[in-house]
Each structure stands twice: as structure tokens, then as C-alpha cells.
A and B are shown apart, each in its own frame.
Chain A
């Protein structure tokens, strides 16, 4: 095939490899941190912003405990660079409560015993939140699908599903 793209000198600015200012919108607040481009969103949240509710399990996309919402959609914070998140909305588990009032999904998780060790819980709750924001009346199968990227080693799945359905009911009324 023929060569066609004309090469020109790109104007875009390179950043790094040293620390560079990165502005992150997290839980509706704007934060500027100084980090190397290789900083993952997960490490930025935990180490630079002190938001340790987002957990570090496998650090390679195979456990789900680092799940956060990126523009409202669940993603793994371990497989994203902080620098790529500029201009996007990040929501972590810390963003759910309002003052002393925990979120109805959190309340439902407590009432239904939907966790044991609790390590996967922030991720489970954020996956459920994204589901309920998009679909206020999910079926049990919808919930199972929504949390299919969140591993629970304690095996609390049935209760996670119950809690999600209960939360859906409450949020509608």
C-alpha cells in the first residue's frame, strides 16, 4: 500500500519523565498533584490524595478492588494513568456519603451483611452505583453482570445481589 500520511513536526507538548502537575477532578473537587507520567490513577488516589478507600489488590486488572467511576462508568484505577484522567470526573467510595449520611447502597450492604473482610466492598458498591444510575430497576441477573468484574474472596455474592436490589428499591421510593 502507498504511503500517504504526510509527516510534519507535531506541536503537542511532551511531559515528564520527571514530575509534572496533573489536575484531577475527584469527587467533584479539583486537585493538582505533582507526579511522574507513570503514576497510575490508583497510586495517585491512595498516595497523593490519601483516598485509601480504593483498594490495591492485584494491580493488574484481575481482582476489581480498585474499581472507581470514570465519567460515571466503572473502570480499574490500576490500569489507568493519572495523567490520562485530566478533564474527566473520577468518583471514589469517599464521594458517596453526604456529610454523616452514608449512601443508600452502603446502608443496604450493611443491612444485608454483603461483606465479610470488606476489601472488595468499595469496588462492589461503585459497580452497583453505576448500574443503578443507568438502570434503576435491575433484575438479579443485571446485578450479577454488573459485579462480574469484582472478585469477592469471601463469597458474599448472594448478599451483594440482595443488597443491590434492596438499594434499588429504596432509591426509587
Chain B
């Protein structure tokens, strides 16, 4: 780890001002950033500690929304009464994220802004395209964990488990900063890296996530998060599916299906969602929706297994929600 200066930010305004200085990086729980500092993938001159910003750490109900400050830890969110009662999809996503120790330190903001896990990216001596190099080494290399959707030069997948679940809940995100400021849909916050913007969120270098807002628009218990992983704890998703339904009697009024581990950002499959509208759920329909969800998927050399996995997770998710409703 290269040495750096360290400063505790007293509030959001100061943090944003401090981050203006080139070579400055924000740290929250540190569980992702420290792994990058140790491997010298990132070498900031100054680290700005966000955890001293007291008004970014809360979970509160406000009118029709649940508001979660960016510094709330994953454990705090998982254990929160409202989350358990109304947003089981989020609780389920957190309970299969990393480990208890990591969830105690990791924050919501850090989870959404974490770096990709592509092994070429994580190697200290490889300067791949995402690290402003010339080429993607995964394209012709070992790409078993990589994307089946998307058209970026970078084929790494977004590793967050919380992001698909939150997008399925129509969550919004608040940003404070010098380049971006205000509130937008979480879905629009994530970007596939482009030539001129090689990162997976639209944040500028001095922009901060301050809050995530979950509207109370879905009924309780209508969401499920399924994650295929190599072992039952401590692993990033191979593929995951966040499925959220709004029922009207026995019929589906609205559906959200967001896949994780399949693209450089959480991947919402709108065509598959649309097939459910106004329908009663049957095994046959769940199968068709699963197939539609992966209709546009394209396998790389080593990741064809992800296509049936994604299809079946969507199907299982839909059937599980039907079972829970009964």
C-alpha cells in the first residue's frame, strides 16, 4: 500500500470540496478500497474518510419512502424492521452478501460504488482497458465469470448484490457533488463503461452518493432474491435474479426482473417483465419468461453456463413468489 494523507470529513460539503483535489479518494467501510490500495490498483495521495459525516448514517421512514443514508452498514439495513417486513428482497440480497464481518463494516454507498472483480483488473501488474490500458485481457482470456449481456469493451460484471434488489424496488439514489447533483433512478445511476467514461456509475471524481430512497409502492413479501454461488457464503454471484411482483388478485399487475452477474451493470429485462402483466402465473409462463429474459444473451468462450442459470433463476423466482402468495 502506497502511503497517503488522511482526513476525516465533517460533512458532505467539506467532503466534496476535499475531493476536488486531484489524487483524492473517498473511503467508507474500506472493505473494497483497502483491497485495491494493497494491490496498488488505486494509489490516492489523500484519503477522505466519510464515516465521520454523521448525517449520512440513518435509516428512516418518511411519508411514502424508506430513506437509507449511504453510510448505513449492510448489517444495519438487513436487521432493520421495515426492511424485514416490507422489503424481503433486500433483506435476502444482503443475507447472501459476503460475510457477517464484511456486512458489519461495508456501507450501502460503498457497495453500489465497489469495483469489478475481474481477475485481470484485480491483478497488480495487468493494466487492462478498464484501468486506462489498451485492451481487455478477458476477451480472449479466461472469462468464465464475465458478461453475457452488454456492448462495452469491458466485459466484467457488476458485483453488487444490493443493486439488483434495489432496482427491482424502483429505488432512487441521491448524489451530492460538483459534477452530478440531485436524485435519479438507481437504474440510471449504473453505466456500462465507455471509451471516455471507464467506470460503472455516472459519478464524477468528486461526487458522493448520500442516500438511497425506496418507495413503498410494492406490497410486502412480493419480492425474492436468488443467487447462484460457488459456496453458500463469501462468494460473489455467478448469476443472481431479483424478482419483484405487484399482484392484483390472482394476476400480476406489474413485474420487475433484474439480473446480477450478467453484465457491467445490473441488467433489467423489460421484455420479460412485460410478458407477466395481467397474467396469472403458471409453470409454463414462468418458463417462457425465463427464456425471454435470456433471449438476447451471448455467451463468451467460458461462460455459456450462465444462460440456463439465469433462465432458471428467473423461473424459480417467479414460482417461489407464487408459492409464497398462496
Majority SS of interface residues in chain B?
A: mixed
The contact of A12 among B2, B18, B37, B38, by CB within 8 Å, is B18
Assess A7 versus B20: contact at CB under 8 Å? Given A64-B101, A149-B234.
yes
Majority SS of interface residues in chain A?
A: loop
The reply to whether B102 and A61 form a contact with Cβ atoms under 8 Å apart is yes
Q: Smallest CB-CB separation from B182: which chain A residue? A: A1
The contact of A4 among B9, B34, B182, by CB within 8 Å, is B182
Chain B residues closer than 8 Å to A17, beta-carbon distance: 3-5
Instruction: Decide yes or no whether B150 CB sits under 8 A from chain A.
Output: no
Most buried by A among B20, B49, B101, B182: B101
Q: Could you give, for residues 39-81 of chain A, a 1 whenever the CB lies within 8 Å of some chain B CB and a 0 otherwise? A: 0100000000000000000011110100100100111101111
Shortest beta-carbon distance, B26 to chain A, in Å? 13
Assess A38 versus B3: contact at CB under 8 Å? Given A5-B13, A8-B13.
yes
The reply to whether A149 and B233 form a contact with Cβ atoms under 8 Å apart is yes
How far, in angstroms, from A66 to B37 measured CA to CA in the complex? Answer: 18
Instruction: Give the interface size class of chain A.
Output: 35 or more
Instruction: Decide yes or no whether A11 CB sits under 8 A from chain B.
Output: yes
Within 8 A of A (CB), among B111-142: none
The reply to whether B14 and A11 form a contact with Cβ atoms under 8 Å apart is yes
The reply to whether A12 and B181 form a contact with Cβ atoms under 8 Å apart is no
Q: Could you give, for residues 12-49 of chain A, a 1 whenever the CB lies within 8 Å of some chain B CB and a 0 otherwise? A: 11111100000000000000000011101000000000
The reply to whether A1 and B180 form a contact with Cβ atoms under 8 Å apart is yes
Instruction: Decide yes or no whether A127 CB sits under 8 A from chain B.
Output: yes
Chain A residues closer than 8 Å to B49, beta-carbon distance: 84
The reply to whether B178 and A74 form a contact with Cβ atoms under 8 Å apart is no
The reply to whether B181 and A4 form a contact with Cβ atoms under 8 Å apart is yes
Please list 20 pairs of residues, one from A and one from B, whose beta carbons are closer than 8 Å in the complex, sorted by A's number.
A3-B178, A5-B13, A5-B178, A5-B181, A6-B13, A7-B178, A8-B14, A12-B10, A36-B3, A37-B5, A38-B3, A38-B4, A60-B35, A61-B102, A62-B234, A70-B105, A78-B34, A80-B30, A81-B27, A149-B99
Interface of A toward B, CB cutoff 8 Å: 1-17, 36-38, 40, 59-62, 64, 67, 70, 73-76, 78-81, 83-84, 127, 145-146, 148-149
Q: Knowing that A2-B181, A62-B234 touch, tell me 14 more A-B residue pairs with CB under 8 angstroms.
A: A1-B180, A2-B182, A5-B178, A7-B20, A10-B9, A11-B14, A13-B7, A37-B5, A37-B6, A38-B2, A61-B101, A64-B101, A84-B27, A84-B49
